[in-house]
A and B are shown apart, each in its own frame.
Chain A
């Protein structure tokens, strides 16, 4: 018995939900960023899984997940730079204290 696509989708779903929960509840901005990476990874798993088990198997899914990784890397770099700049100014990385746009 081989592994069906639903299993992969399920793993990706759980990963996504865990990441989402983390992104919504954690106070530390770095942890929030990590949670977002988890969600991106869940999406990647889906892409790769569909590229093998989908209606039209092709390497397009692989290429897309590679692009996603690249974009995620860029995002993390910029996000951390912002965080460090923010930390330097406000002495905090807590998400619930970053509401200066509202004030």
Chain B
């Protein structure tokens, strides 16, 4: 019972719990709060896995930007959170069965697979961030640049689409 295990246990509980609450809550504010909890817990998991930079990015991008964006999305469309009906029920049950089946299959797959022994903790003399920086700007420089173009395009596209179509009038 190490500290790492306790931290993992708590974080994963928060992650899953937040996700489940997010799905089951009907009020917008509650949903966004539970979503934030999930994202931050995931960031904690990243840190636990020794990926500090990813964890920080997770907090910045997801907990910060995307949550707020979602909040705006909800607020801008329909925010009387009462109509979060379940649609037709047999479809939900069918989906539930499918998802459960997928879960069962994957669970069985994970459990029955033989995983390599965890490597002895390689004491990395180079920091994680530096390593990432080196890789991104050397090996993955082309995808990195493409990603920047993608972001630009997404930005422009989102503005154009969300803009009021009023210039014609």
Give residues in A with beta carbon < 8 Å to B.
Answer: 1-11, 13-15, 17-22, 24-31, 33-35, 37-38, 41, 44-45, 48-49, 51-55, 57, 59-63, 65-67, 69-78, 80-85, 87-88, 92-94, 96
From the candidates B20, B31, B65, B157, name the one contacting A78 in the complex (CB within 8 A).
B157
Inter-subunit contact A2/B118 (CB<8 Å): yes
Give residues in B with beta carbon < 8 Å to A.
Answer: 1-2, 4-5, 8, 12, 15-16, 19-20, 22-23, 31, 35, 38-39, 42, 45-46, 48-51, 53-54, 57-58, 61-62, 65-66, 69-70, 72-74, 76-78, 83-87, 91-92, 95-96, 98-100, 102-103, 106-107, 110-111, 115-116, 118-119, 122, 128, 131-132, 135-136, 140, 143, 147, 150-151, 153-155, 157-162, 164-165
Interface of B is mostly: helix
Inter-subunit contact A5/B70 (CB<8 Å): no
Provide the residues of chain A in CB contact with B78, threshold 8 Å: 28, 87, 92-93
Which residue of chain A lies nearest to B111 when distances are taken between CB atoms in the complex?
A: A6
Distance in Å: Cβ of A35 to nearest Cβ of chain B: 7
Inter-subunit contact A84/B49 (CB<8 Å): no
Inter-subunit contact A5/B115 (CB<8 Å): yes
Inter-subunit contact B69/A77 (CB<8 Å): yes
In the complex, what distance in Å separates the CA atom of A77 from the CA atom of B153? 11
In the complex, what distance in Å separates the CA atom of A72 from the CA atom of B42? 15
In the complex, the 6 A-B pairs of residues with the closest C-beta atoms, listed nearest first: A74-B154, A81-B158, A81-B162, A81-B161, A24-B95, A11-B12
Which residue of chain A lies nearest to B161 when distances are taken between CB atoms in the complex?
A: A81
Distance in Å: Cβ of A77 to nearest Cβ of chain B: 4
From the candidates A6, A73, A93, A96, name the one contacting B61 in the complex (CB within 8 A).
A73
In the complex, what distance in Å separates the CA atom of A29 from the CA atom of B95? 17
Which residue of chain A lies nearest to B84 when distances are taken between CB atoms in the complex?
A: A28
Distance in Å: Cβ of B116 to nearest Cβ of chain A: 5
In the complex, what distance in Å separates the CA atom of A18 from the CA atom of B34? 14
Distance in Å: Cβ of A98 to nearest Cβ of chain B: 13
Provide the residues of chain B in CB contact with A35, threshold 8 Å: 23
